[in-house]
C-alpha cells in the first residue's frame, strides 16, 4: 500500500499503472491482481491506507508525553497534516489525486464521500468536546469548514503557493474562529 500511495502521489490516479506499482512494491503484477482484483480495488485499499496512516501520524504520541486537553487534541489532529515529512507529503498528495479523480469516477466518489464524512465527524466530535452545548448541525458545519480549508491549504502548501508555517498559522486561526463561532 505504501508503494501505491507513492505511485499515486507521483503519477496521479490516471497515471497509475499496475506494472509500475508491482515494480515499486517489488512483487509480481499477478500478485497485485490476486489481492486487489482490479484498479478500483487498488484505489479503495490505497484510500483506506492513507486514511489509516494519517490517523496514526496525527494521533500517536509518546508514552512520556502529557495527555492533551480537548483543544490540544483538535489542534494536533488538524495541524499535524502540515508536516514537511515524506510520509505527510505523500499522503496529502495521494489524497488530493484521489479526490480529483473522484470527479470522473462514481465508485471512487462514493468511497471518498464516506471517508470525508468519517473525517468530518471525527473533527465534529473533537469540537463537541470543546463546545458541548453546540448543536450537532453547528459542530458538523464547523468541522466541514475546517476540513475543507485543510485540504485547500494542503494543496497550496504542496504546490509551493503557501509556506508551511503560513498554512499552519492560517489553520490555527481558523480553529480559533470556529470555536468562537460555536460560542460557549
Residue 184, pLDDT above cutoff 80:
no
pLDDT of residue 141: 98
Residue 134, pLDDT above cutoff 80:
yes
pLDDT of residue 74: 96
Residue range 116-129, pLDDT digits in tens: 999 999 999 999 99
**39-59 and 86-102 helices, crossing angle to 10°:** 140
Residue 177, pLDDT above cutoff 70:
yes
pLDDT of residue 113: 93
Tell me what the pLDDT averaged over the chain comes to: 93
Average pLDDT of the segment spanning 76-81: 94
Alpha carbons 77 and 69: distance in angstroms, whole number: 12
Average pLDDT of the segment spanning 47-51: 91
Alpha carbons 3 and 172: distance in angstroms, whole number: 32
Average pLDDT of the segment spanning 142-155: 97
Q: Are 27 and 111 in contact (CB under 8 A)?
A: no
Residue range 92-113, pLDDT digits in tens: 999 999 999 999 888 889 999 9
Q: How many CB atoms lie within 10 A of CB 56?
A: 10
SS3 69: coil
pLDDT of residue 14: 86
pLDDT of residue 129: 96
pLDDT band at 42 (very low <50, low <70, confident <90, very high): very high
Question: pTM of the predicted model, to two decimals?
Answer: 0.89
Residue 51, pLDDT above cutoff 80:
yes
Amino acid at each position: 500500500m505504501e508503494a501505491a500511495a507513492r505511485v499515486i502521489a507521483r503519477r496521479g490516479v490516471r497515471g497509475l499503472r499496475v506494472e509500475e506499482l508491482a515494480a515499486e512494491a517489488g512483487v509480481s503484477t499477478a500478485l497485485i491482481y490476486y489481492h486487489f482484483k482490479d484498479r478500483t480495488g487498488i484505489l479503495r485499499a490505497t484510500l483506506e491506507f492513507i486514511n489509516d496512516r494519517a490517523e496514526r501520524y496525527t494521533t500517536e504520541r509518546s508514552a512520556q508525553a502529557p495527555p492533551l486537553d480537548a483543544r490540544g487534541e483538535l489542534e494536533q489532529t488538524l495541524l499535524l497534516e502540515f508536516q514537511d515529512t515524506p510520509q505527510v507529503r505523500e499522503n496529502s498528495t495521494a489524497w488530493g489525486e484521489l479526490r480529483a479523480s473522484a470527479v470522473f469516477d462514481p465508485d471512487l466518489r462514493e468511497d471518498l464521500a464516506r471517508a470525508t464524512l468519517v473525517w468530518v465527524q471525527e473533527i465534529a466530535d473533537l469540537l463537541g468536546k470543546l463546545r458541548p452545548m453546540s448543536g450537532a448541525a453547528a459542530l458538523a458545519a464547523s468541522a466541514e469548514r475546517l476540513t475543507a480549508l485543510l485540504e485547500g491549504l494542503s494543496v497550496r502548501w504542496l504546490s509551493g503557493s503557501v509556506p508551511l508555517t503560513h498554512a499552519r498559522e492560517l489553520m490555527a486561526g481558523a480553529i480559533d474562529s470556529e470555536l468562537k463561532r460555536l460560542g460557549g
